[in-house]
Amino acid sequence: MKPVVIFRHARTEGPGYLGTFLTAKRIPWQLICIDQGEALPESTEAYSGMVLMGGPMSVNDDLPWIQPLLALIRDAMQRDTPLLGHCLGGQLISKALGATVSGNPVKEIGWGEVKLTPSDEAHKWFGNLERFDAFHWHGETFALPQGAEHLLSSRYCQNQAYSIGKHLAFQCHVEMTVDMVKDWSEAGADELKAEVGNPAVQTAVEMQRNLQQRVARLNEVSHFAYERWILGLRT
């Protein structure tokens, strides 16, 4: 089977639980670290699926790798190579497909409830859930591309996930591990201080309360969604 290619845009924002999931399923995967200057492939022909992780930058920034990566996303769509985006990754998919990425009304950081859109499509990706606690760390949000099915929303951000056929894009983070939450809390300490008083932002202490249980529950949700996503992988 061709490997799944995973693009990392920041050192602390790797594949997380997704990597664990793919390895357990014996699905080969390759990590390309854009944050370390690794080169992008010319196309997605050599891959069974394409995954984009998060990062602190904006898709609207003038960075040398953004336009080539947007072209690669469009290449994946044309080849029917399934896309999976997490936060920045979901925003990149939206931008590549012609939708707007702009500032969210507030920054949303920490654990927060997301609600399923009452639709058959949402339940295909998330089972019989009506809501669950996801992890958030974003200040921007995506509009839905043409043909997208809305899947999730939160109190502070309307567009938390969408699908287009076999393609899945998240604004929230479902890939989290215990270590990732701890690392982000430490790395983002100054940002958290600047957002004191914002009801959509938790403190590091709040984020890490009952952390093992919270992450375990989120992993169950992401496992279900990832199970559906791998059904579309190209052989």
- The answer to whether 133 and 175 have CB atoms below 8 angstroms apart is no
Question: What letter would DSSP give residue 203?
Answer: -
Check whether 217 has a pLDDT greater than 90: yes
- Give the tokens for residue 149: 């099915």
* Cβ-based neighbour number of residue 61 at 10 Å: 7
Instruction: Return the half-sphere exposure (C-beta side, CA atoms, 13 A cut-off) of residue 171.
Output: 32
Which positions ≥6 away from 118 have C-beta within 8 Å? Answer: none
For the stretch 47-101, pLDDT in tens is: 999 999 999 999 999 999 999 999 999 999 999 999 999 999 999 999 999 999 9
Kindly report each contact of residues 69-72 with a partner whose C-beta sits within 8 Å and lies 24 or more positions away, as own/partner. 69/7, 69/34, 69/40, 69/96, 70/95, 70/96, 71/96, 72/40, 72/41, 72/43, 72/44
- pLDDT at 134 (0 to 100): 98
For the stretch 135-182, pLDDT in tens is: 999 999 999 999 999 999 999 999 999 999 999 999 999 999 999 999
CA angle 5/167/19 to nearest 5° reads: 35
- The answer to whether 210 and 232 have CB atoms below 8 angstroms apart is no
- pLDDT at 121 (0 to 100): 98
Residues 106-125 have a mean pLDDT of: 98
Which positions ≥6 away from 29 have C-beta within 8 Å? Answer: 3, 4, 5, 6, 15, 19, 22, 23, 51
Distance CA 47, CA 76 (A): 9
For the stretch 3-26, pLDDT in tens is: 999 999 999 999 999 999 999 999
Q: Bigger pLDDT: 235 or 208?
A: 208
Domains detected in the chain:
4-230 (3.40.50.880)
Distance CA 26, CA 233 (A): 13
Place of tokens 């390759």: 30
- pLDDT at 235 (0 to 100): 83
Whole-structure pTM over 0.85, yes or no? Answer: yes
Query: Partners of 49 in the beta sheet?
Result: 4
